[in-house]
A and B are shown apart, each in its own frame.
Chain A
């Protein structure tokens, strides 16, 4: 088991602390329950949008997590190409998969809100389109990972795609933005965020914290899985 010649490309530590309750996960789930309870029972309706507005307590935090996840993928990619540390690749892998989940939440909750408020399920708004492409790039990233057997090659290719994807985002935003401003739609009520009443703001902050903890918990779980898989591959390779 402990042949010193084998490069330690997976962490074989902390298997003891893996058993038992994942406290971060538990706390984040409880936080989400608290946030949702507050959203439903203790936060007033928005005057114009009515109950539909409440989806924003889910939508905004999910969007924040999705963009964070993407940032982590890109930064971990740069780090991997620079340092060649597989831990960074596992972090990117975990963050990408969790990112897809959050991006999907954003893309599902957005239209549910847009239908009553904007009057349409979908509109090619700049931010909306950007999120859609974020999702496409994430999915492409995961498909790419699944298509490569060699561990080091998989890490390098994903890093390259993650970095190029982050370069692509501003271009998509800019081109879609120009596209929209040159062809203005009749009426699109922009969800400008004025000064929120304190109850709403508190609920939003609680949601943000809850979702972010949930993101961290999921990434941590996914990272452990990636770690175990690498360990297994290493054992089988011996």
Chain B
């Protein structure tokens, strides 16, 4: 990768994050959404029938998926106001760097939500997630990369359609299934104190997904831009 692609990408990511940091609208709504989800899921099950140890991984990954969507929706609709996307496309940078910059900003966004939601699940469900911080962090990062890779591409597509934000979940959720299953399964194994070697298969699956879809979405991105 040419260094100019990466530096341009970082510049775009910084711009997006600066906008987000100054307004904080999307982050707070995603965060409140995540916390509300954690609380609602708790009451959706009978705690005497299902132990919170069994519930927590599913809740965690269900919540990440949906709150991630909130952040992704914003990624390209941000550029629609004043047709800012036109200036972005007119800039002497490659299409790939736009995609990469957007994806990096989204990754930071999703990771920030995770950083608060994981302790929240630990607090509300009384499970010891943070005892496995290193491995859980690795799972969360790998899942977030896959989520963001696909979500960023579909976000770019969704803004140019009549349905706009409504379309993003319809397109993205089938693609999130092979992320959520391995991530939730690996988390469940961590929580029940199984050896880490049992999760290796799941982590490999996540890694393969990340590699395939980061490459495929980066290649596909130039086709999704309305010239």
A: residues with CB less than 8 A from B are 81, 133, 136-137, 139-140, 143-144, 147-150, 153, 156-157, 159-161, 163-165, 167-168, 171-172, 174-176, 178-179, 182
Contacts and interface: CB of A to CB of B under 8 A. Distances in A.
A163 to B, nearest CB: 7
A52 B38 CA distance: 44
Interface size band for B: 20 to 34
Contact of B163 (A143, A150, A161): A143
Contacts, number: 85
Contacts of A147: 161-163, 167
B202 interface: yes
Given A136-B174, A144-B167, A178-B205, A160 B182 contact: no
A156 B225 CA distance: 9
Given A143-B170, A147-B162, A167-B213, A156 B205 contact: no
Interface stretch (B42-50, B106-114, B215-223): B215-223
Contacts of B205: 171, 174-175, 178
A153 to B, nearest CB: 6
B209 interface: yes
A157 B157 contact: yes
Main secondary structure of the interface of B (DSSP, over half): helix
Q: Which 4 A-B pairs have the closest CB atoms?
A: A147-B161, A171-B178, A175-B181, A175-B178
A99 to B, nearest CB: 15
Contacts of A172: 174, 177-178
A65 B171 CA distance: 23
A27 to B, nearest CB: 36
5 contacts: A144-B170, A148-B162, A171-B208, A175-B205, A176-B181
Interface of B: 150, 153, 157, 160-163, 167, 170-171, 173-175, 177-178, 181-182, 185, 201-202, 205, 208-209, 212-213, 216-217, 220, 223-224, 226
Given A133-B177, A175-B205, A163 B171 contact: no
A148 B161 CA distance: 5
B220 A163 contact: yes
